[in-house]
Structure 1
Amino acid sequence: MALAKTVYNLLFRRTSTFAVTIMVGAIFFERVFDQAGDAVFDQLNRGKLWKHIQHNYENKEEE
């Protein structure tokens, strides 16, 4: 209960801090959701994307 009261007093009591908390939370959620979506896409398409098969088609030039 004390934790909830502390969070309320720090983040949700004033409108300005509430708005900033919502904005920061939205940005954080967007970043996590985007990275998770990319990871799922890469996993489902493993072996089909250029970054996975690039070594088959590029020649290593010897110096």
Structure 2
Amino acid sequence: MDADDLEPRNKPQGLKNLDPMSIEELNDYIADLRAEIARAERAISAKQAVKAGAEAFFKR
């Protein structure tokens, strides 16, 4: 077994350096982050709906 096998596959990204970014770039970056948050929230909602359906089915 390699030591690499013990490392997480998706290493967390470090914080993005905001200093060299212009105001417009920062606004675009914020818009991208908000879009990603909305996408994650939709995925959570979908998974909660599936979970609720499964729980209702097995509680019969």
When normalised by structure 2's length, the TM-score is: 0.57
Gaps of 5+ in 2: 1-13
Displacement after TM superposition at 1:47 (Å)? 7.0
1:3-28 Cα deviation digits (max 9, x unpaired): 76x61224xx4210111001100111
Aligned length: 44
1:29 aligns to 2:37 (yes or no): yes
Is 1:41 the counterpart of 2:49? The answer is yes
Q: Distance in 1 between matches of 2:49 and 2:18?
A: 38
More helix by share: 1
Identity over aligned pairs, percent? 5
TM-score (norm. length: structure 1)? 0.54
Higher relative contact order (CA 8 A, sep 6+): 2
Q: Work out which of the residue numbers 23, 27, 42 in structure 2 matches 1:19.
A: 27
Where does structure 1 lack aligned partners over 5 or more consecutive residues?
Answer: 50-63
